[in-house]
Structure 1
Amino acid sequence: MPAAKKPRKSAIDPADFKGRAATINDIARLAGVSKKTVSRIINRSPLVREETRERVEALMREVGYTPDPLARGLAFRRSFLIGMVYDNPTAQFIVNMQYGALDALRGSGFELVVHPCDSRSPDYIDGVRRFVQQQKLHGVMLVPRVSEDQALADMLASIGCRYTRIAAVALDAHSRMVITHDRDGAAEAADYLQTLGHRDIALITGPGAYRSAIERTEGFVDALSRRGIKLPKSRVLEAGYTFESGVAAAEKLLSAKDRPTAIFCENDEMAAGVYRVALRMGISIPRQLSVIGYDDSPLASRLWPPLTSVRRDTRDTGRIAAAMLIQSEDDLRGRPVASVRPHLVARDSCQPPEA
């Protein structure tokens, strides 16, 4: 039986890479294989012997070699970049969404690039188009609020870029949607407050242009109505999903003589604003005022008392949206719509109203 072929000795020592990054040519020379073989290993081709694959992958780890997604895109005439486009005032929401996307892309050979934008700007869609074309993106995750913009989705379709949309309701084909069911989460918050005995309830909503705010508002109001509780217009204040807007809304609600016994805020940032005003006015949470937020962000458990909040798994949502983009379109065709269900996490910010 002939002896196994020994790799030819390389003139390059791994220690040489302390001052620079190794290239695919370096890896090929060190491993004693062709550049084409290294490329096949990077792209998980089945045409490479397992022994060779393990040896080359061990060498790449040793010298810290990382394939360049742009270079791979040129070689394979397609990009290995996934974009995330967002216009959202809540930093923690965006961070969790990125973590989820990175979970899905880890080990796939794809990388994530992000593009914040201002959807109120008249040329923001052109800006997204330039981002997609300059980066030669394989696909794009659209995060609320931009995911709700049909003109943006139409533009991506027109230039042949794959996309997934994260939204409170179905806005597109099932193969392009991750639905978050915000209406159901808000309805659960309403049911919880009613079960505790609250009837004088206020609502601080998100911006009226956001589909998530529309769904949460309608879900909350309808759930109370089914239980015989009508929410007066004076008890519904629109805010901006920010801490500052929550403060402003709370000041109006809590300065009234007949202040509510409970407030539902459509995100945790605005709920924190309510906490600020209640503390300043000497109103005890939850003894004199029950408060519920939405998102169950890390902020919810850091407030005192810990905030009852509707949890939507933002990280899991990002993971699903990114995973859909690196699956083949044939695999996605005909599958049920992807969704992430919210649920209430009860903590210490709610109790029955004072007699």
Structure 2
Amino acid sequence: MASDQPARRATIHDVAKLAQASTAAVSRVLRDAYGVSDDMAARVKAAMKELDYRPHASARGMRGKTYTIGIVHPDLRNTFFPDIFSAVAEVILPTSRQIMMATSEWTSTEDVFAAMHDRRIEGMIVVAPHISENKLVEAARQAPLVLTHRHSYSTAYDTIVSDDDAGAELVVRHLAELGHKYIVHLGPANGRLATQLSFVTAKRARAYRNAMESLGLGKFAEVAGCPHYTFEDGYRAAHEVLTRSRRPTAIFAGTDNVAFGVIQAAYDLGIELPRQLSLVGYDNTGTGGLGPLSLTSVDQNPHEIGTLAAKMLLSRMDGRESVERASITPQLVVRRTTAEPFE
């Protein structure tokens, strides 16, 4: 007859007994402490797995550490971000730390930061926050912080960015070399997302305009308002420009999500890609690379970004005080949504 009593949770003593090690040795493995042999670490981790052992978070917290890092990001629906997070996990999880993830999509970044700090996270990786610099510095003073996808720099935190100037230039040059002149960029047209150069939205829009000017296409340059880099905004903005009497021959979408909105709008309007419209996205998401879409897009190397972010955070948590900054060089991945303009 099955017992109604819950199964006893394995303890550190159980792990030590199975691994033929002392509890102190098990504790050192859990803390990823210096001086643990590979053989000892392997035996302890095998025992933990066999016993389904999980350290009590509350007990760890009482010892001054929660062994938890936080990830804060702005959009659950953007398929680019999971590629960063999986790389973070590859670095963080082997250190016996857990990852707490939260989005600022439906609440303020300040509230998310407060929730993270209330749970005594040991550090944060923050993706493209819409928050003031003062608040960002304040958060970094409470726990080590690594910032990605925002061109903000401070001695309080580390920063990883993609070279958005180079990325936008790659797009415009590719389309111009195919023979396109009337190239429209879908991104924020006004407000701080369009003007504050710490935001990637403003960086890409400015770089687009500069590239158009340098190629002698300045009179054709136009940023069609797409303020939030979403599928819905991409669809709306694309529908507007594609129903004009004189429509563009090419569109540079601020992200792949925006590009997906363009693809849907073009389909609804009976416009064939790339014969009647060339399209370039930004992020090179797995979805965009699928055969039926085959979207030309800018690759920011999210795996490298996530790996660097995790390593930077761990070294900050280990006591590094000097500032680290990294810039990732993007690459253009040419697929089937770009071609010479149809005459």
Q: Place the TM-score, normalised by the shorter chain, in its bin.
A: 0.7 to 0.9
The worse-fitting range, judged by mean Cα deviation, of 323-332 and 249-258 is 323-332
2:136 matches 1:153: yes
User: For residue 172 of structure 1, what is the amino acid of its counterpart?
Assistant: S
Question: Which residue is equivalent to 1:283?
Answer: 271
2:88 matches 1:98: no
2:49 matches 1:66: no
2:261 matches 1:273: yes
Residue 88 (structure 1) aligned to one of 69, 75, 84: 75
How far off is 1:276 after superposition? 1.3
Residue 142 (structure 1) aligned to one of 126, 148, 172: 126
Q: Is the CA contact (8 Å cut-off) linking 1:268 and 1:293 kept in structure 2?
A: yes
Rounded Cα–Cα distance in structure 2 between residues aligned with 1:306 and 1:65? 45
SS of 1:141's partner is strand
Rounded Cα–Cα distance in structure 2 between residues aligned with 1:83 and 1:22? 26
State the Cα deviation string for residues 12-47 of structure 1 (Å, max 9, x = none): xxxxxx944311122234456543232123334456
SS of 2:169's partner is helix
User: For residue 288 of structure 1, what is the amino acid of its counterpart?
Assistant: Q
2:182 matches 1:194: no
Residue 217 (structure 1) aligned to one of 205, 209, 229: 205
How far off is 1:205 after superposition? 0.7
Question: Which residue is equivalent to 1:228?
Answer: 216
Rounded Cα–Cα distance in structure 2 between residues aligned with 1:87 and 1:57? 35
Residue 339 (structure 1) aligned to one of 318, 327, 337: 327
Question: Which residue is equivalent to 2:155?
Answer: 173
Residue 255 (structure 1) aligned to one of 243, 262, 265: 243
- The alignment's TM-score, normalised by the length of structure 1, stands at 0.83
State the Cα deviation string for residues 35-79 of structure 1 (Å, max 9, x = none): 32321233344566776655444433332323345533433x123
The alpha-carbon distance between structure 1 residues 334 and 53, as it changes in their structure 2 partners (threshold 3 A), is closer
State the Cα deviation string for residues 196-218 of structure 1 (Å, max 9, x = none): 11111111114754411100111
SS of 1:350's partner is coil
Question: Which residue is equivalent to 2:288?
Answer: 300
Question: Which residue is equivalent to 1:79?
Answer: 66
2:96 matches 1:109: yes
Rounded Cα–Cα distance in structure 2 between residues aligned with 1:232 and 1:173? 41
Q: Is the CA contact (8 Å cut-off) linking 2:187 and 2:254 kept in structure 1?
A: yes
Cα RMSD between the aligned structures?
Answer: 2.8
SS of 2:251's partner is strand
The alpha-carbon distance between structure 1 residues 318 and 209, as it changes in their structure 2 partners (threshold 3 A), is farther
User: For residue 155 of structure 1, what is the amino acid of its counterpart?
Assistant: E
SS of 2:288's partner is helix
- The alignment's TM-score, normalised by the length of structure 2, stands at 0.86
State the Cα deviation string for residues 275-329 of structure 1 (Å, max 9, x = none): 1121222211111110111111122123634110111122331221122111147
Q: Quote the sequence identity (%).
A: 27
State the Cα deviation string for residues 236-279 of structure 1 (Å, max 9, x = none): 33342111111111111111111111111101111111111212
The alpha-carbon distance between structure 1 residues 346 and 174, as it changes in their structure 2 partners (threshold 3 A), is farther
Question: Which residue is equivalent to 1:15?
Answer: none
Rounded Cα–Cα distance in structure 1 between residues aligned with 2:92 and 2:115? 20
SS of 1:188's partner is helix
Q: Is the CA contact (8 Å cut-off) linking 2:159 and 2:326 kept in structure 1?
A: yes
Q: Is the CA contact (8 Å cut-off) linking 1:205 and 1:265 kept in structure 2?
A: yes
Unaligned 5+ runs, structure 2: 1-5, 194-198
Rounded Cα–Cα distance in structure 1 between residues aligned with 2:306 and 2:43? 34
How far off is 1:168 after superposition? 4.3
User: For residue 169 of structure 1, what is the amino acid of its counterpart?
Assistant: H
The alpha-carbon distance between structure 1 residues 259 and 336, as it changes in their structure 2 partners (threshold 3 A), is same
Q: Is the CA contact (8 Å cut-off) linking 2:234 and 2:261 kept in structure 1?
A: yes
Rounded Cα–Cα distance in structure 2 between residues aligned with 1:336 and 1:54? 32
How far off is 1:117 after superposition? 2.2
Residue 114 (structure 2) aligned to one of 120, 130, 141: 130
The alpha-carbon distance between structure 1 residues 353 and 68, as it changes in their structure 2 partners (threshold 3 A), is same
User: For residue 100 of structure 1, what is the amino acid of its counterpart?
Assistant: A
SS of 2:48's partner is helix
Question: Which residue is equivalent to 1:7?
Answer: none
Larger Rg: 1
